[in-house]
Chain A
Amino acid sequence: MVKEKLKFAFYWAASCGGCEIAVLDINEKILDVLQLADIVFWPVAMDIKYKDVENMPDKYIDVCFFNGGIRNSEQEHMAKLLRQKSKFLVAYGACAQLGGIPGLANMTNKEEIFEKVYKTTFSTVNPNGTVPKPKVTVKEGELDIPEFYDTVRTLDQTVDVDYYVPGCPPAVERTLYALDVIAKGELPPKGSVLAPLKSVCDECPRKKENKKISKIYRVYEKAPDPERCLLEQGIICMGPATRGGCGARCLKADMPCTGCGGPCPNAPEQGAAMISALASILGLEEEKDKYTEEEVEKLISQIKDPIGTFYMYALPASILRRKVMRE
């Protein structure tokens, strides 16, 4: 019996387009994808409208790859619609999985963002304090745009998600792996991240000597030894707290991991896991059983911008989620 072709869909929400390029970066293997599946919805590519998706029967799409976080009303609507129409919904890339870098906007809110972008940026000239509005009447008629939310949410904070493909953007091998398990019908249990269980540290070829550090260096302050572990050279590297499957690409360029793969399976709070890893390696030069508060303060104050450092990609997905908003 000829196996019926699968139906795939791709969609992007609050993201940069890098995830779409990541799909294209499988190069000639995209032809295998077309053998395996018909693409029934790919807004960047195909002549299929929202309305056509609305008209599809529920669960018509076999697998929908959804990238980007949820930051406005239209994205929320599309997430709900595609959930309803898809058998499997895959959060593809860091923004859909964790909120991603745009999720750092959860340290602020709509009002502050509008104030900065439309009123106080150096080059903006806006004497009347004009800001965009969802509904506007111009002289010829009415215009509308989606409503901008205060908070960035992950895909699974919006709808039920079946699988996750990590990375910013996902490495070519992650995309190929996801396609492979789908093609073979060997999907793991629902909720799985389609990546190895190991951390970036486990994939990193650099030498570890279990050295303690007493001083933290910013990346521009020190040219590291290219053979040795960056963390042990005092450069904060998210490798111990970040799920692997990327081949430790950034480390090969002599730069630290910044955590785009998201948390490891046994430590779902990525920032806390990194803080704990750091706590076990950071210490004064002379070992002590107990540090004074001042000594601890001095060590910790070397860590600048802990939110941006430990939650660069995962703030919306973390227990912190956002900065508290008060009236």
Chain B
Amino acid sequence: MKNIIIDPITRLEGHGKISIFLNDAGEVENAYLQIPELRGFERFCIGRKAEDMPLLTSRICGVCPVAHHMAGTKTLDAAFNVEPPSAAKKLRELMYCGYFIYDHTLHFYYLGGPDFIVGPDAPPEKRNIIGVIEKAGLDIGKEVIKHRAYGQRITEIIGGKATHPVCGLPGGISKPLSEEDRKEIENMASSSVNFAKFSLKLFRDIVLGNSKYVDLIKSDAYTLKTYYMGLVDENNKVNFYDGKIRVVDPNGKEFLKFEAKNYLDHIAEHVEEWTYVKFPYLKKIGWKGFVDGPESGAYRVGPLGRLNAADGMATPLAQEEYEFMYKTLGGKPVHSTLAYHWARLIELLYASERALELSRDPEITSKDVRNKPGEPGEGIGVVEAARGTLIHHYVLDENALIKDVNLIVATVNNSPSINMSIRNAAKGLIHGDKVDHGILNMVEMAFRAYDPCFGCATHFAVGQMPLTIEIYNKEKKLLKTVQR
């Protein structure tokens, strides 16, 4: 049996590796995505002060620290049995929208988007942000840099620091918003709405205007029929900050709807020996291995998971785009992994519209931003991180020190599906040892769509993820190396 190792040299080289095994006929037998890294937060947070958890856990990911900070803060609300004042909730959500603007912009233009904008079979040296600028123009490039920075700035204003904010407290946030800062956020949000509209138009022109791309999106190699999960509000619309967790089955029918505090009734995690990441699944169905379909407990989260799990978007422009996507791709749910990119842009528009709404809310500059916490106990908190549903669970002792911790991190939810997507793409595209750069990129596209957190640094800079494929024969003798 031959073994192909795709060892990306990005964060993925240190923190992720794909091994593909071929059978004697030269067809793909199986594929493994290995996460070679662990830091052990669930253990070393034990004994720490509960109020430090939003700071400690934000270091799980410096690309999405706001998600952990917020999940931690909401978990503290629950653990101290305190409801924040309405203005504090709105400020938290406003900061959260800033984070989505920053993060989704980063992914679409620096990492995922180049595959479409420049083209999946374009030369590798062009398939990056610089290629995007060449194709779309320098002015666009400047807009991209500007709006990524706007998202960061919104977090900085409310949170103190853009990366690793500090404002979250049980029962509220540390500081009210001044009128001057509110005005600055309003201007940035307003600009972001236009930027998001523009981004969707760019996607329509370049991707949907090209039938080759549309065929690719709909192809079997990129299709996975799974359950989908996401937070929804009382009208079953997508919500990033709060709501109930809704799960739909592969036919789009509601399968579960539950409050975060009951997550243990519905989600469990499986362990494998060959990777440091765990594999979550729906408890009701059970762990059935790396298979999709209604009989498998695997589910998907993140932009497409959220849109599939909801009935729509809560803002008008995003709702229009939501309807248009499902109309174009043939109704709900959409199982194409590549549609994650489209869903991400619709969410960018929603985040911008919602940020604008909140920045104009008369209550947003209220000084009433913290309530007094109650006695320490146990708490569970959930938010939608850019990459999916994120659950924190803490048990506090009588001194409000951490006694136990459980974390289900966004990308981890997707880990069974990412493995399957890579395997399916490899099976569909790799035949024998005829492996070229284009095929490598298409295999890579299968997991890049998820915007996986373990490769989160690949969000930026020249966005091209280098790969090495090494093909070995049965005796482990190197037959061929393909690099790009």
Which A residues are closer than 8 A to B by beta carbons?
12-22, 24-25, 27-28, 42-50, 71-72, 74-75, 78, 100-102, 104-105, 107-108, 112-113, 115-118, 121-126, 130-133, 136, 138, 140-141, 143, 145-146, 148, 168-169, 218-221, 223, 226, 249-250, 252-255, 258, 304-305, 307-309, 312
Contact A49 to B38, CB < 8 A, known contacts A43-B14, A118-B271: no
Does B30 touch A at the CB level, under 8 Å?
Answer: yes
Interface 0/1 of B137-161, CB less than 8 Å to A: 0000000010001001000000111
Q: Which of B47, B175, B373, B400 is A254 in contact with, Cβ under 8 Å?
A: B175
Pair B13/A131 contact, Cβ less than 8 Å: no
Pair B44/A43 contact, Cβ less than 8 Å: no
Pair A250/B268 contact, Cβ less than 8 Å: no
Q: Can you list 28 residue pairs at the A/B interface with Cβ under 8 Å?
A: A15-B62, A17-B457, A18-B59, A20-B457, A28-B145, A45-B464, A48-B9, A105-B43, A107-B47, A121-B406, A124-B278, A125-B268, A125-B269, A126-B270, A143-B34, A146-B36, A148-B38, A148-B276, A219-B51, A220-B76, A220-B171, A226-B175, A252-B160, A253-B166, A253-B174, A255-B174, A258-B52, A304-B399
Pair B163/A22 contact, Cβ less than 8 Å: yes
Q: A47 vs B124: C-alpha distance in the bound complex, in angstroms?
A: 9
Q: A64 vs B267: C-alpha distance in the bound complex, in angstroms?
A: 43
Complex interface residues of chain B between 1 and 53 (CB less than 8 A to chain A): 1, 3, 9-11, 13-14, 17, 19, 21, 29-30, 32, 34-49, 51-52
Pair B408/A123 contact, Cβ less than 8 Å: yes
Does B231 touch A at the CB level, under 8 Å?
Answer: no
- Further 17 A-B residue pairs, CB within 8 A, beyond A104-B48, A130-B273: A21-B163, A27-B145, A47-B125, A47-B466, A50-B9, A72-B36, A113-B43, A123-B263, A132-B273, A132-B275, A140-B29, A145-B274, A223-B370, A249-B160, A253-B166, A253-B167, A254-B174
Question: What is the CB-to-nearest-CB distance from A272 to chain B, in angstroms, rounded to a whole number?
Answer: 20
Closest 3 CB pairs of A and B: A18-B62, A253-B160, A45-B461
Q: A307 vs B263: C-alpha distance in the bound complex, in angstroms?
A: 32
**Cβ contacts under 8 Å, B268 to chain A:** 123-125
Q: A74 vs B468: C-alpha distance in the bound complex, in angstroms?
A: 17
**Cβ contacts under 8 Å, B159 to chain A:** 253
Q: A50 vs B464: C-alpha distance in the bound complex, in angstroms?
A: 16
How many A-B pairs with Cβ below 8 Å?
263
- The range of chain B's interface size is 35 or more
Q: A47 vs B131: C-alpha distance in the bound complex, in angstroms?
A: 15
Q: A78 vs B201: C-alpha distance in the bound complex, in angstroms?
A: 43
**Cβ contacts under 8 Å, B280 to chain A:** 123
- Chain B, residue nearest A94 (CB): B59
- Chain B, residue nearest A169 (CB): B163
**Cβ contacts under 8 Å, A21 to chain B:** 62-63, 163, 460
**Cβ contacts under 8 Å, A304 to chain B:** 49, 399-401
- Chain A, residue nearest B263 (CB): A123
Pair A105/B51 contact, Cβ less than 8 Å: no
Contact A74 to B63, CB < 8 A, known contacts A116-B43, A255-B160, A309-B49: no
Q: A308 vs B62: C-alpha distance in the bound complex, in angstroms?
A: 20
Q: A18 vs B29: C-alpha distance in the bound complex, in angstroms?
A: 37
Pair B460/A168 contact, Cβ less than 8 Å: no
Contact A218 to B457, CB < 8 A, known contacts A46-B466, A123-B408, A249-B161: no
Interface 0/1 of B368-383, CB less than 8 Å to A: 0010010000000000
Pair B468/A121 contact, Cβ less than 8 Å: no
**Cβ contacts under 8 Å, A104 to chain B:** 44-45, 48, 56
Pick from A19, A47, A107, A252 the residue with the most CB of B within 10 Å: A47
Question: What is the CB-to-nearest-CB distance from A24 to chain B, in angstroms, rounded to a whole number?
Answer: 5
**Cβ contacts under 8 Å, B65 to chain A:** 16, 18
- Chain A, residue nearest B149 (CB): A27
Does B484 touch A at the CB level, under 8 Å?
Answer: yes
Contact A143 to B19, CB < 8 A, known contacts A75-B14, A105-B43, A169-B163: yes
Pair B14/A74 contact, Cβ less than 8 Å: yes
Question: What is the CB-to-nearest-CB distance from A126 to chain B, in angstroms, rounded to a whole number?
Answer: 5
Question: What is the CB-to-nearest-CB distance from A82 to chain B, in angstroms, rounded to a whole number?
Answer: 12
Pair A16/B161 contact, Cβ less than 8 Å: no
Pick from A18, A105, A121 the residue with the most CB of B within 10 Å: A18
Pair A124/B461 contact, Cβ less than 8 Å: no
Question: What is the CB-to-nearest-CB distance from B49 to chain A, in angstroms, rounded to a whole number?
Answer: 5
Question: What is the CB-to-nearest-CB distance from B45 to chain A, in angstroms, rounded to a whole number?
Answer: 8
Does B272 touch A at the CB level, under 8 Å?
Answer: yes
Does B462 touch A at the CB level, under 8 Å?
Answer: yes
Q: A115 vs B42: C-alpha distance in the bound complex, in angstroms?
A: 10
**Cβ contacts under 8 Å, B21 to chain A:** 140-141
Contact A312 to B52, CB < 8 A, known contacts A43-B9, A47-B464, A132-B276: yes
Question: What is the CB-to-nearest-CB distance from A62 to chain B, in angstroms, rounded to a whole number?
Answer: 19
Q: Which of B39, B46, B370, B484 is A71 in contact with, Cβ under 8 Å?
A: B39
Pair A113/B40 contact, Cβ less than 8 Å: yes
Q: Which of B52, B61, B164, B267 is A169 in contact with, Cβ under 8 Å?
A: B164
Pair A125/B44 contact, Cβ less than 8 Å: no
**Cβ contacts under 8 Å, A45 to chain B:** 10, 460-464
Q: A28 vs B142: C-alpha distance in the bound complex, in angstroms?
A: 9
- Chain B, residue nearest A139 (CB): B30
Pair B393/A25 contact, Cβ less than 8 Å: no
Question: What is the CB-to-nearest-CB distance from A313 to chain B, in angstroms, rounded to a whole number?
Answer: 10
Q: A90 vs B441: C-alpha distance in the bound complex, in angstroms?
A: 33
